[in-house]
């Protein structure tokens, strides 16, 4: 694969990237050196530009720093090496078995809502139960590709039906902000800013607030639902597209919610 030499950074700039990632991850130079099987002295030389890392070391550094596959490719390319990971369109015929498997997973989650989304919240696939989230949303928010985060927090989306908007919305925005800090991305920063702008002023600190366990209290035409969200990533994927997808599924937090969702499901929804 031919690399555009104009994109190759200097040893100093490459070392600065590595040092910046290490500081973001809050890892000491010694700890990172131990993780990657090198010496602290050599890593210090790499970070200051006195030594240029080989491709194997750069890959070990990227893995030890928990970089995404896209970020690993960017680091390799910046050093003048060929990218290590492919990025295949989700519509590519080669990913057909993956798409079919995802559809089976979504169907198997019925009668509870579930979807697959990209890193920016755009829905790639969903099951029929997702209509409990789209109920009464403005048509413009349902134009494909639908963004689940915008649908959730936009004033013309789910907001009017969310009974615990202050805490639940805060939970979403804080989670995305943490993701943006760990994997800096201007597009994700813009999404966080947009979503935060939809929320009311932050409530006073609540000593009972547990960020990772905020159920969605959603009013529907059939009653109020209590839903817990689960997120699943494809951590072992070696293709960027697959690695960046996540499965978002909702589970009933009480028996009433489970009963309502089962009643809403029609026989045609219940795909084996």
* Backbone region of residue 9 per phi and psi (left: phi > 0; alpha: psi in -120 to 50; beta: other values): beta
Residue 218 bridge partners (DSSP): 162, 225
- Domains in the chain, ordered, with CATH? 5-78 (1.10.260.40), 93-269 (3.30.450.20)
Tell me whether strands 123-126 and 216-220 are parallel, antiparallel or unpaired.
Answer: unpaired
In this structure, how many other beta carbons lie within 10 angstroms of the beta carbon of residue 131? 14
pLDDT string in tens for the chain (272-residue length): 434 444 566 778 999 999 999 999 999 999 999 999 999 999 999 999 999 999 999 999 999 999 999 999 999 999 999 999 999 999 999 999 999 999 999 999 999 999 999 999 999 999 999 999 999 999 999 999 999 999 999 999 999 999 999 889 998 999 999 999 999 999 999 999 999 999 987 655 555 444 456 889 999 999 999 999 999 988 777 899 999 999 999 999 999 999 999 999 865 444 44
Q: What is the pTM of this model?
A: 0.84
Q: Tokens standing for 129?
A: 């139960």
pLDDT digits (tens, 9 = 90+) for 92-137: 999 999 999 999 999 999 999 999 999 999 999 999 999 999 999 9
pLDDT digits (tens, 9 = 90+) for 34-59: 999 999 999 999 999 999 999 999 99
DSSP states of 198-240 = HSPSPPPP-TT--GGG--EEEEETTEEEEEEEEEEE-TT--BH
C-alpha–C-alpha distance, residues 135 and 14, integer Å: 49
Torsion of CA 31, 36, 38, 43, to 10 degrees: -70
């Amino acid at each position: 694969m031919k690399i555009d030499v104009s994109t190759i950074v200097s040893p100093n700039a490459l070392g600065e990237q590595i040092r910046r990632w290490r500081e973001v991850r809050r890892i000491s130079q010694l700890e990172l050196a131990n993780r990657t099987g090198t010496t602290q002295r050599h890593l210090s030389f790499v970070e200051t530009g006195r030594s240029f890392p080989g491709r194997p070391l750069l890959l070990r550094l990227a893995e030890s720093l928990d970089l995404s596959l896209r970020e690993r490719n960017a680091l390799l390319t910046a050093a003048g090496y060929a990218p290590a990971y492919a990025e295949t369109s989700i519509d590519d015929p080669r990913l057909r078995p993956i798409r079919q498997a995802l559809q089976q997973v979504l169907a198997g989650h019925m009668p509870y809502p579930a979807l697959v989304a990209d890193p920016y919240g755009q829905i790639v696939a969903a099951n029929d139960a997702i209509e409990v989230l789209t109920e009464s949303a403005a048509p413009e928010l349902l134009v494909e590709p639908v963004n689940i985060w915008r649908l959730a927090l936009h004033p013309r989306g789910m907001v009017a039906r969310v009974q615990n908007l202050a805490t639940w919305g805060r939970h979403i925005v804080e989670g995305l902000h943490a993701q943006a800090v760990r994997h800096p991305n201007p597009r994700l920063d813009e999404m966080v800013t947009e979503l935060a702008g939809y929320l009311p002023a932050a409530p006073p600190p609540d000593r009972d607030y547990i960020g990772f366990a905020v159920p969605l209290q959603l009013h529907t035409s059939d009653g109020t639902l209590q839903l817990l969200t689960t997120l699943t990533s494809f951590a072992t994927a070696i293709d960027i597209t697959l690695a960046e997808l996540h499965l978002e599924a909702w589970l009933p937090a009480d028996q009433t919610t489970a009963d309502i969702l089962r009643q809403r499901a029609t026989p045609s929804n219940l795909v084996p």
